[in-house]
Chains A and B, each alone.
Chain A
Amino acid sequence: MIRKLMVAAWLMIAGTCLAQQLDLKSLDKFAALAKSKTEINMDESMVKAAASFLDSKDKDQAVARKSVSELKGFFLRAYEFNQKGSFKLEDLKPISDQLKGPYWTPFLQVQENNEQMEIWMHRTNGQMDGMLLIAAEDKEVVVMNAVGVANLSDFAAISEKLGGVELPSPVTNPSPPKPAGQKDDD
């Protein structure tokens, strides 16, 4: 009986780890300090259920439906604070520590003043199967883990339609200036 319970517990823990890729519990303490908060924990079944209710006739929802078609989990923490200093970049250390493993590779990292923006890719057996977004500043922090994202174009659509523009190209250093006379595409 005890063995069965232990196996069940192990399976539950394993299932949770598989579903989430990243433990976001270190951020929970900010919920009490935040002016506004959004906490989303959706496993595959919830994502599928939600996707089945997205209306393909609605432009935004159609984009969302396409973007989440491969998702196996969606976990988000977004906290907004009244005062500066409620959140420090050091508070992200428990998250950063988890990214040191072999599964995570940085795609984009921008750190300037007191702002930090990062996109990480999760790979299993060399195949991309997840994405992490960290956007932190003085009064706001957003951490999002999308499990099952197989390529960034899946998510490019939501930034275009739901966020405003296309996903950035994977560079942290700006490209060198173009030769004189060449027009900028932008």
Chain B
Amino acid sequence: MSEAIAIEPLPLAIPRRVLRLLPGVALLVALGYAGKLAEQLLRDYGKAHHLALPQIEYVLWAIVFGLIVANTVGVPQIFKPGIATYDFWLKAGIVLLGARFLLGDVLKLGRISLLLVGIELVVAIAIMTVIGRWFRLKPKLTSLLAIGSSICGVSAIIAAKGAIEADDDDATFAIAAILALGAFGLFAYPAIGHLLHMSDRSFGLWAGLAVDNTAEAAAAGAIFSDAAGKVAVLTKSTRNAMIGFVVLAYALYWASRGQAHEVKSKAAFVWQKFPKFVLGFLFVSALATAGAFQPQQMASLANLSRWAFLLTFAGVGLKTDFRELKRQGLRPFVVGALAELSITVVTLVLVLAASAVFDL
């Protein structure tokens, strides 16, 4: 799951809360739209001058524009509440993306995703546990890093922090590692995918399995191609759906050692952690499968989903502050990089094997 920055539950009236969001949302729209224009302008320029310019997707432009703003002039406080809504746009975009999937495709891809996600979870947790022991990290910090790298990045770490009663410092350390590697993966994965001539489905599966935050996974997929972006979101959502079970397992483990509070109802715990937007995605997909939408309406919903993702991608760039990551020191990068590199290689092998078996 992506970094879930909450809109703080301030005791403000709803109109005032909405007003607080406007500057940041306007910035997301402006940067996202600038990214879309940049893609068009470059393509038109290439055509007009008969130049074979590289096709740079709006996704990459929107992220780069966001990165430039965040890491040069910085983001003034007035924009921050609205920028934090990028996570909201991501989830709304995923629900709307359901209109582009028939349930049959979801089930087919979902089955393959579920199988690979199961293997990825076990491998990622094992790798992170071994590396944590090598570097003599605190056991709860190792747990947080294992949860973050196996499921869904920052929000999984935040969900697990309360459940296993980890320190704030451990959570900050784990989040810094996941964020730094997410930023790197955004650019590295599509390049590797093209180098290996991966198909859209294979690359989407790989991005969904290996990239930790949902927004970065969606972006890495979309940078590769539109179709890969769809598959990346589906695979990452399957991974996100596992959050409750993995966090529950860790909570039970630490409770059994007397270092976390008891879990009263396991079913309620899993439901509380379950990402509800997955249900919304399945519902819209079921409507599309049942023929509830005419072709024009399907196109409109698909376009709405693209607009929502456009705002998300601008937010991904704006929230990545390299100075903040640098302040966290080198250790999170080294520990995280070693683990992520291992997970990257393992998931790549898994996907290439699955592509051969399932003819993806």
State whether these chains interact.
no
